[in-house]
């Protein structure tokens, strides 16, 4: 007989601390101590760029390495692509020539390059006549600034005084034409366009280059970066995930890597919390066997590329490099950074070495559980959402997704479609809303929803935090954007291939005054390659402020579900998919179960459809093979009550497989089920149990959740079969194996030993 306990959590923590410690060891080439001076500017400490050139992206000490990169088998192809691209791209051509100047010190080449870059900045025009064009041309203006900054810094010895003055004038003009303007404001550095390239790459790079002649641009950019951007990022890095979804990772999470490398090469050392290293692990764990990612936030499947490459190279992380190498192509205008910063000696490491479950903590409260890393793998995502950042993050507290040989339970909706994108009727009434996710709804007919003061359709779901306004800074996040709390999380007993993965959250804050309490518990079971590959159990306790508010449990699917009494089957037929999900509704005991979807109701929100269709080709390289989901199942109690329980058992298998027997178990404050040979128990009142618990089951594997922290014992037929089992406050779970029968779990008084 084997037992899981709080000891497993401590064992796992120790094992993983050692595992990650290896990855966090000193990185070759990184400054162990900052070798620059720091100064105060407008109340913020910033490093002073060294009085030498080159200093942007590389230093004189890096020239030999740069030369090696032109012949190294890994970086030589990048160099060749840059040269080829430069034949049709004037900006790329001057960047290539600037590198050649660094390598040869050919003064004539340097003078030609300086003149060509200045001419390019002067003569490039941008169409500003169309509404909204300022956003779309801002990255173009910014990237042109980077080209000019590279030439200015790398070819500095051949610049004349007149050229320096002309360059500075062009840089300031380009910056003023950006969406944020110049000088950049002291405003939102958390989400939004300002958190993209314009400050963290474009102005910061240019400021470093022209610091001697025009220090203001560097000083204001560095001031905003260290004063506003760094604190909130270091806070969210601890969660090892990104809040704006994978489609915005390249332009939001990816831009964080530019200052990391810029200040590293300046000699200012690492400027972020080292937890940034593990942010890409979210994408590793959400990677499906077909190479796509589970859907997250706005957009569909847009791969992360440069940001994973730069992260892997900086932190010498072979797992992240392996994820990048799945699809290593990057756009031509990013080749420069790949050439300069990719670590050619870093080898990929197999993901098979990683644990199969991963928890992403504060400020997220997300869990991903897998059964493996191959084509036969089941992947399940479970969310609490401790905080919600708005913007491209959805109102999906409590949501789950399941993938097995196709998307079985998914996030639905269209972000960029034929009927509009951000802020469109479909986007704000359906796509971003709880009704588009595998969430709970509590429908108060009088409730009013808004998006930036614009009235929305009542979906019965969660409201945008703080009126959908984007957070300004870390203090604003902490004060106005908390939406949930993790009440328990863990997996085991084997930390590398866990039999169970557990997550419980309090979602009450997400639903506002229409509820008194909303709790959701997830248990994912790895069935160890049996015909039923995995099981996902979802248990909900929902207490509304009014018994008449109807509650709904949602399950979204790509294809029309089949409903047979209390059993819901999603058996995929399209696109070569072969997976099947069978959900048995154990609670409510008297339930209404109905399918919603099909023609005219694809994106139905209580009386109104919000149509949208994916464009055949989306921006940023997204495929036309979108998965938007046009069906859902709604499960509701037949009788009105303030407190309702939902208990659903989803079995994941191949299309032709047969599911396991499922039985509900209730005994006093214990609510649970038996699925196959595994019994799972929760506390009816949602709290942590103290004292003594008794249950009877025919299973041979047992998971008992909602236990108080402390030392417990397990007895069967009056005999103690396991004593001194530690239950952690973090997890609150005991997992054990044994014979069927009646069990007694007793919390032991630590002082008396009883």
Pairing of strands 678-683, 701-704: parallel
d(CA 396, CA 510): 9
Alpha carbons 641 and 10: distance in angstroms, whole number: 41
Strands ordered across the beta sheet of 532-544: 485-492, 500-506, 515-526, 532-544, 643-654, 579-587, 567-571, 562-564
Closest CA to 560 of 551, 568, 552: 568
Asked if 248 is an active-site residue, the reply is yes
Residue of 392, 394, 426, 437 marked active site: 392
> Residues 6 or more apart from 514 whose CB is under 8 A from it?
442, 444, 447, 544, 545, 546, 549
211-216 contacts at long range (C-beta below 8 A, 24 or more positions apart): 211/49, 212/51, 213/164, 213/165, 213/168, 214/168, 214/171, 214/172, 216/183
Catalytic residue from among 57, 194, 218, 248 = 248
426 is catalytic: no
d(Cα 724, Cα 747) in Å, to the nearest integer?
9
Cα 117 from chain centre: 38
Strands (E), 233-377: 357-360, 366-370
Distance CA 391, CA 28 (A): 38
End-to-end C-alpha distance for the chain, whole angstroms: 23
Residue 502: strand pairing partners = 490, 523
Q: Which of 53, 193, 394, 426 is catalytic?
A: 193
Assess whether 243 carries a catalytic annotation: no
Q: Which of 609, 600, 559 is nearest to 430 (CA)?
A: 609
Tokens of 81: 């692509």
CA 88 to CA 65: how far, in whole Å? 27
- 312 Cβ partners below 8 Å, 6+ apart? 280, 318, 320, 321, 323, 324, 343, 346
Question: Residue 536 corresponds to which tokens in the numbers above?
Answer: 């996902």
Beta-carbon contacts of 494 under 8 Å, excluding residues fewer than 6 positions away, are: none
State how far the Cα of 387 lies from the Cα of 391, in Å rounded to an integer: 13
| Residues carrying an active site annotation | 193, 248, 392
């Amino acid at each position: 007989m084997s037992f899981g306990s709080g000891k497993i959590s401590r064992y796992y923590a120790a094992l993983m601390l050692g595992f990650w410690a290896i990855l966090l060891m000193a990185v070759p080439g990184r400054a162990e101590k900052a070798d620059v001076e720091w100064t105060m500017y407008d109340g913020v400490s910033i490093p002073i760029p060294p009085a030498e050139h080159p200093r942007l992206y590389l230093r004189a000490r890096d020239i030999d390495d740069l030369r090696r990169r032109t012949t190294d088998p890994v970086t030589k192809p990048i160099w060749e692509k840059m040269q080829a691209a430069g034949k049709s791209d004037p900006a790329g051509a001057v960047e290539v020539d600037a590198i050649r100047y660094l390598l040869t010190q050919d003064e004539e080449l340097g003078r030609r390059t300086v003149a060509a870059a200045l001419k390019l900045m002067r003569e490039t025009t941008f169409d500003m006549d169309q509404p909204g064009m300022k956003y779309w041309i801002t990255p173009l203006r910014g990237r042109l600034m980077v080209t000019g900054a590279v030439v200015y810094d790398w070819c500095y010895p051949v610049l004349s005084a007149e050229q320096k003055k002309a360059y500075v004038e062009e840089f300031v003009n380009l910056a003023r034409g950006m969406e944020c303007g110049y000088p950049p404001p002291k405003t939102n550095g958390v989400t939004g366009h300002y958190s993209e390239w314009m400050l963290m790459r474009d102005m910061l790079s240019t400021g470093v280059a022209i610091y001697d002649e025009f220090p203001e641009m560097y000083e204001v950019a560095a001031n905003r970066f260290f004063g506003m951007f760094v604190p909130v990022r270091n806070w969210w890095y601890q969660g090892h995930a990104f809040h704006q979804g994978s489609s915005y990772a390249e332009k939001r999470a990816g831009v964080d890597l530019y200052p990391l490398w810029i200040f590293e090469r300046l000699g200012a050392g690492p400027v972020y919390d080292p937890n940034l290293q593990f942010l890409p692990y979210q994408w590793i764990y959400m990677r499906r066997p077909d190479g796509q990612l589970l859907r997250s936030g706005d957009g569909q499947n847009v791969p992360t590329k440069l940001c994973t490459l730069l992260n892997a190279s900086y932190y010498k992380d072979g797992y992240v490099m392996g994820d990048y190498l799945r699809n290593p192509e990057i756009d031509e205008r990013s080749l420069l950074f790949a050439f300069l910063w990719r670590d050619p000696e870093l080898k990929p490491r197999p993901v098979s070495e990683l644990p199969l479950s991963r928890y992403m903590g504060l400020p997220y409260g997300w869990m991903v559980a897998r059964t493996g890393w191959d084509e036969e793998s089941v992947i399940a995502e479970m969310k609490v959402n401790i905080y919600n950042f708005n913007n491209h993050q959805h109102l999906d507290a409590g949501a789950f997704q399941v993938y097995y040989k196709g998307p079985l339970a998914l996030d639905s909706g269209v972000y960029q479609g034929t009927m509009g994108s951000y802020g469109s009727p479909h986007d704000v009434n359906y796509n971003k809303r709880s009704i588009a996710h595998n969430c709970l709804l509590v429908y108060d007919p009088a409730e009013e929803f808004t998006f930036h003061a614009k009235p929305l359709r009542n979906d019965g779901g969660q409201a945008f935090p703080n009126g959908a306004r984007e957070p300004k800074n870390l203090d604003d996040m902490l004060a106005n954007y908390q939406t949930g709390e993790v009440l328990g999380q863990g997996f085991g007993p084997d930390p590398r291939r866990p039999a169970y993965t557990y997550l419980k959250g309090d979602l009450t804050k997400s639903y506002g005054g229409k509820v008194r309490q909303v709790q959701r518990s997830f248990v994912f079971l790895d069935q160890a390659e049996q015909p039923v590959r995995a099981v996902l159990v979802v248990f909900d306790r929902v207490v509304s402020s009014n018994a008449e508010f109807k509650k709904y449990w949602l399950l979204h699917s790509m294809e029309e579900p089949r409903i047979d009494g209390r059993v819901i089957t999603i058996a995929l037929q399209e696109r070569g998919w072969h997976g099947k999900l069978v959900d048995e509704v154990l609670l409510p005991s008297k339930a209404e179960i109905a399918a919603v979807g099909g023609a005219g109701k694809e994106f139905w929100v209580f009386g109104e459809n919000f149509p949208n269709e994916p464009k055949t080709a989306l921006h940023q390289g997204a495929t036309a093979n979108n998965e938007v989901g046009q069906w859902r199942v709604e499960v509701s109690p037949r009788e009105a009550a303030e407190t309702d329980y939902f208990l659903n058992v989803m079995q994941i298998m191949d299309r032709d497989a047969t599911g396991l027997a499922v039985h509900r178990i209730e005994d006093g404050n214990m609510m649970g089920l038996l699925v196959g040979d595994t019994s799972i128990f929760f506390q009816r009142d949602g709290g942590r149990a103290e004292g003594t618990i008794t249950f009877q089951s025919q299973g041979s594997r047992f998971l008992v959740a909602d236990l108080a922290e402390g030392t417990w014992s397990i007895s069967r037929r009056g005999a103690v079969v396991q004593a001194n089992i530690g239950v952690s406050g973090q997890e609150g779970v005991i997992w054990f194996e044994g014979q069927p029968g009646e069990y007694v779990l007793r919390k032991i008084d630590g002082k008396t030993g009883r």
